[in-house]
Each structure stands twice: as C-alpha cells, then as structure tokens.
Structure 1
Amino acid sequence: MWKWSLLALGLGLLFAVLAWSGLRRRSSWRDGEKLWGQVMGVSVTPAWNGADSMDGDRSPARVTLRLSLEGREVSLQKDFPKVLAAPALGQRVQVLYRRSTGEWALWKNIRSWWVLWAILAATAVAVFLLLLLGGRTVAAQLSDYTVDHPNPAGSGLALLVGFGAGATGAALAWGLFLPVLRDAFRPLAWVARSLLGQWEPRQAKFVGWVQESDGDGGVRSYPLFSLGQGQDFFPAVTRQKHFAPGDILTVYKSPKGRFSLEPEPLDYLLLPLQLLPVFFVGLFVLCLLVTGAFLLWTGTTGLAASL
C-alpha cells in the first residue's frame, strides 16, 4: 500500500506544480482584456536552408492584428520568433490586450487549466492521506468490492478512474479527433464551398517550404505563399506538391478570410485512406468516453448505496 501512497503523493505534487505554473502565467496578464481580432497581415523573414526551403525555427514573422475596441478599429503588430507559431492570415483569434502598453498575446498561449490541475492535485493528496491513515481498511474494501456489493473505497476508485477516462476522452475528442476528421473531409468540404460559390480566387506566389523537425529525426514541410504587401500564408496541404519558388498559382479565399489550394484528383482517391485514422481515433475516444461514463455511474450509484 505504501507504493500507491507514494504514487498518489507524487501525482499530487506534479499536479500542484502544473497548477502553480498555470496560475502564474495567467496572473501575468491579469490586466489584459479578452477580445476577438482578425489577422490582417503576416510578413515572414525567411532563414533559408537551401534553394527552396527555410528553417521554421529561425524564420520570424510579423503579424498585424485588427481589433474592434469600443466602436473603433485598432491595428496592432507583434513579432513571433518562429513563423509556425504565428496565427494564419485571415484567422480570427482570441487575444488578451493590455491597453496600458498596447501589448497583446494569443489567448491559447496564456490560457491555463490551473483550476483543473488544482482539483486533481487536491484529489491526489486526499487519496494519499486516505491510504496513509487507513491503508489496511481501504485495501480490504477494494479486495471485497463488486458491482453488486459496493463499498465506499471501491466506488470512490471507480469515480476517480471514470473521471480520468472521461476527461481524457473529451480532451482527445477536441484536440485530436476533430482535427483528424476535418483533415480527412477537407477535399469534400472544398467542393461543397465551391458549389455554394463561397471561394474567392486570388493569385499568389510560392515562396518556399518552411521546414520543421518532427521530433523523430525527420522533417515536416509547409508551403509558404505570398499575396504581396506583407500577406504571407500557409494553405492547407496534406502532402508535398511540386512547387518551385516564384510559381504563380490560384488560391482560394473563404468568406472568413482563410486561404486554400484546390484539391487534386489524388486527394479524392486517398480519401478512403484518410478515413482510417478517423475510424481508429474515433473508436479509441468512444471507448474512453463510454468507459468513463460507466465508471462514473457505477461509482456514484455504489457510493450512494454504501453510505
């Protein structure tokens, strides 16, 4: 039982550190107003690696943001040291704006889950104290626990595991499944918008490939296009195409200001393969959510029956 107690204590300390770090990050922008803005310009300064590729970690970008503040339009600029960390041209982003200095920061970079981490830290510490003070009683209850004959310790463990499974499933559904689903159906979504007449064709020049390490010794490449006058952007491209610097291509602007290339026939042929990760990721997320819901229900009903 000591090893479980030490594990609970270690998790409690880890969650407490994460909560404190998130709280400090959020507190540094306590005087910032949360506003919505639109990216009106992105100007990239390439750090070339070769004839047609640049280092994404050494290529900065200057972003021009437009905010609506008390009925007037405000234009702000911010330099990002890494181009791939900058928001996309035409993207609507939520920012924190500090009126006293004119500074702004992306809300996603400041947003903190410190409340969640604090709850998890308190839960882990409570489990540690429970195991430390009543370890033998808890161990006996866990060994005797069944769904038909619940007890407080077993029901409490079911609640904890159910909460963890449900929270993980929800996070993966939002952060992994939805992006995978969106990427898989991107060609069909492009066709639907084209039929509705929502695309505005524009001429853009291919600048080069922005390269980023994938963490496994390989490199991911993203095509960089320019409309001129400080309007550089990355269209959604799922595989590397044969572009040469200086090529002029037709790109399409959505009503929301985002840019895209027209899908090629191969993109539609590869659609069944794109659905495979959607199926497996969706199945995994569904299993987590169903397991979490079942354990939460079992724990809640068991705790109510045993108290």
Structure 2
Amino acid sequence: MKQVRLGGSALRVPAVAVGCMRLDQLSVAEAEKFVHGAMDMGLTFFDHADIYGGGECERIFARAAHLNDDRREKVFLQSKCGIRKGLFDFSKSHILSSVDGILQRLGTEYLDMLLLHRPDTLMEPDEVAEAFDILHNSGKVRRFGVSNQSPLQMALLQKSMSQKILVNQLQLSITNCGMIRSGFNVNMENAASVDHDGEVLSYCRLNDVTIQAWSPFQYGMFEGVFLGNARFPALNKTIDDIAVRYGVSNTTIAAAWILRHPANMQVVSGTMSLPRLQQIAQAATLTLSREEWYEIFRAAGNELP
C-alpha cells in the first residue's frame, strides 16, 4: 500500500484511510470480517467520529478489531469530536469528555489522532490548546488535526497550539472539487473565479497539512455517487474508457484522480464492501497521466480558462 507523509511529521500512513461512518450497518461478525480484511490489504488507518452511529460505530469496531497490545501498535486510530445536537462545541470540557468517551468505546488507551469535526464560531483557541495539551501530556492523544476548516480558521487555532495541525479533512471528489477549480481562475472576471475556501488547497500544501478527502465518490453533499449515474454521462464515459485502459474498475480511477494530485492527499473510503475497498486501494498502485487527469476534470463539466 502506497504511503503518504502525515502532515509535517516523519510518520507515513496508508494513502487510503478506512472510513467507519457506516460500520453500524454491519453485524459484529460482518464488521470483524471487514476490519480484518482491510488490515490484510495493508489498510491500517481507521477514521471514526464520536457522532457516527451515535457512538455505536466505535463500539462495533472495538468488538470487531480485537486490539491486543501487538495489534494496537500496528493500526492508526483517528476520531473526531465537536458536534453536538444543534450546535458545535470546542470547549475544553467537551473536548476532554468526548475523548474519554471515544477511548472507552474504541477500547484503547490512546488515539493516534484527534480531529475537530466542524468549525465552532464560538471557539476560544487558547481553551482548545489547553485541552490539547492535557490530552497530549496524558498520553490520551498523540496528534491533532481539524476537519472542514478554512485556512484562517486553522491559522487562528495554530497560533495557540503547542502541537502542529497535521490534517484537514475536507470534502473532495471529481464533482466536488471547488478547492481545485478555483485555482485555475485567478484574475478572471467570471463566477468560477470565486474562491469559497480561502485557497485551502494551497494553504495546506504550504503548511504541510495533509488533506483527507471525504466522500470521494459523492456529488452534492450526500446526494449520491456520480459513478454509473445517468446525470454524468460524459464523466462516466471518460472514467470507464480510462479504466479499460488500465484494466481496473471505475472506482479505482475515481480514487486515483484524487491521489494523482501532488498535494499527497489521503482518500477516506466510506464503503463497507471488501471488494469495493480493494478497488479503492488499487488506486494507490497506479498514477494517472497529466493528460488523463485533465481529461477527467473537463469531463465533469469543469472549464479551463
């Protein structure tokens, strides 16, 4: 499995992370088969959040993974906190209590990384930094990152933190690629030149923050997948043609499109199917040409200036 450097650290992790948001759709026996099948593929990076299944996904993972001391050191456990019903909460007390709950549900003494899930406009950076210091010094959390944050939100938080922000988990797919598309339309007098994300892609590259691409096969927020979807005929034809060329699935090509970017991103899968997970993992074994990458980009309806 291809490895990517995690942020500015020396640690290298699999280019594909196993997203566990839908793990509660499986029985414990099915989850055990899935989790250990992923590990057998070299996919040892598991992404969680305290709200996934109301915490049930983390509980199922713990029962399925059987993390003895030896196996625990071979997997990377990441979880997220900060979302409560009707509000976002980056208070010190909520972060600390959330981590205790996550560790209990996952059946582990520490998290390899904790992410703040959605921006909290009432965030007090010094308070977050204090919580992070407590978690780090106690050994409960080894690394920290964010999710769905803009460059200035990251910079505001980083100013107070002792540790470095290593990750920003962002929505990215071929059909949801505003962070890439805006970079083509610099100094252009058209709507496409509007940058809603504050050049988050360039900021992350400049500051050695790994982008974790969530919903890599979705269009819209959670409207559905674009692969095999009649709404995207040109895109699917292009992807299918390239897939035939490489002898792989359309899923592999869609994931390879993200991994081809020189930002060295990490794809967060969401499937609970081992065969499809294998197809996603296969994306790390091939590199699309520049011509193929742009062909797919244009086929999704993105115009070059």
TM range (shorter): under 0.3
The structure with more strand, counted as a fraction of residues = 1
Q: Report the TM-score, using the length of structure 1 for normalisation.
A: 0.20
Q: Which has the higher contact order (CA 8 A, sep 6+)?
A: 1
After TM superposition, the score normalised by the length of structure 2 is: 0.20
Q: Which is greater in Rg?
A: 1
